[in-house]
Chain A
Amino acid sequence: GNSVTQMEGPVTLSEEAFLTINCTYTATGYPSLFWYVQYPGEGLQLLLKATKADDKGSNKGFEATYRKETTSFHLEKGSVQVSDSAVYFCALSPNSGSARQLTFGSGTQLTVLP
């Protein structure tokens, strides 16, 4: 079946530090890949996505590149801010089947200190 593995947290960084959160996946075929963010007490918000190999998703300074050869979709940001503190989830959706439901990783808690 499909699965997503994220680097274990929590991750604590100082403001303006470089961020990488690793994500690898197992899936049949070529799924679409997503990063969602969850702020305290809130639901999930889509941060970025990529739908085919070598695509780069980007939003709000965050980037992730769909690497088919390493089955990875690592999240990066060059300079984090305190407001980026949240839980980040990597997810995939198959490109076949009727429901195409999201399969999530276990999440990575990011805390950015001023």
Chain B
Amino acid sequence: ETGVTQSPTHLIKTRGQQVTLRCSSQSGHNTVSWYQQALGQGPQFIFQYYREEENGRGNFPPRFSGLQFPNYSSELNVNALELDDSALYLCASSLEPLASSTDTQYFGPGTRLTVL
């Protein structure tokens, strides 16, 4: 069973640029959630994709957008980068949107984004 993978591991961008982060979900999982973890903080929910449709969104501006592909892998795109976007971006996959008490989100190792 393949776990959740993310790429790249690290990324450095400058303010105003655009970035795309990628996530491959665990085998058999059809739901992907993205979280932003600022240094010293807990992860904050960005959005979730279920069967290629956005299924919920946290308190993030529209310049944060995403996609999910037919193989259930996913992308997070951030436009017009700001200094405060510097964070660890985590992807988590699950079989369904935690619809039952047995469901669990499995996290990838994250992508560390630094905005200069």
Contacts and interface: CB of A to CB of B under 8 A. Distances in A.
B28 interface: no
Nearest to B94: A100
Contacts of B99: 100
- Which bucket holds chain A's interface residue count? 20 to 34
A98 B43 contact: no
B110 interface: yes
Contacts of B35: 102
Contacts of A107: 40-42
Contacts of B107: 36, 43-45
Contact of A100 (B97, B106, B108): B97
B45 A46 contact: no
B16 interface: no
A46 B106 contact: yes
Contacts of A100: 56, 97-99
Interface of B: 4, 33, 35, 40-45, 48, 50, 55-58, 90, 92, 97-99, 101, 104-110
Interface of A: 4, 32, 36, 41-46, 49, 51-52, 89, 91, 93, 95, 97-107
